[in-house]
Amino acid sequence: MAIKFVLLVNKQGQTRLCQYYEFMPIDERISTEAEIIRKCLSRNDTQCSFMDYKTFRVIYRRYASLYFILGVDGSENELAVLEFIHNIVETFDRYFNSVCELDIMFNLEKAHLILDEMVMNGQIVETNKTRAIAPVAVMDQATASGK
């Protein structure tokens, strides 16, 4: 599965986390993000969670106040991507104990670390929740014992 980017966005359209796996110039990244977010937020619950945008397919899912948006190759299985989005949410839930927007905002580096354990270079490398959060848990133990 070739993932191009992962975005976490709130209902107001503010990006809370973004991770790109292919180079994109910053001005193009900003305009692409803004357009994708606008399109995702303007869709209602009865519409499909998949849409084509330029050279890739955008797949998103809303959990509480956060939209999890992934850009993938057009040939990817949309349902597998939705399942992976759910896996990301469950992994964040396990680490943050019911993840919310504030958890992502105040622990951005940990959210990035967990995501980096799950996706490397645009490829899914880990779906086991326990193994994905293990390095962050070790870091938490090290900082707790260092105090």
CB of 67 closer than 8 Å to CB of 41:
yes
Contacts of 80-84 spanning 24+ positions with Cβ under 8 A: 80/1, 81/1, 82/49, 84/1, 84/124, 84/127
Residues above pLDDT 90, as percent of the chain? 83
Residue 87 CB: number of other CB atoms within 10 A? 17
pTM: 0.92
Q: What 3-state DSSP class applies to 129?
A: helix
Buried-exposed string 14-27: b where 16+ CB fall within 10 A, e elsewhere:
eebbebbbeeeeee
User: At residue 17, what is the residue type?
Assistant: L
Give the pLDDT band of residue 125 (cuts 50, 70, 90).
very high
C-alpha to C-alpha distance for 10 and 126, rounded to whole angstroms? 26
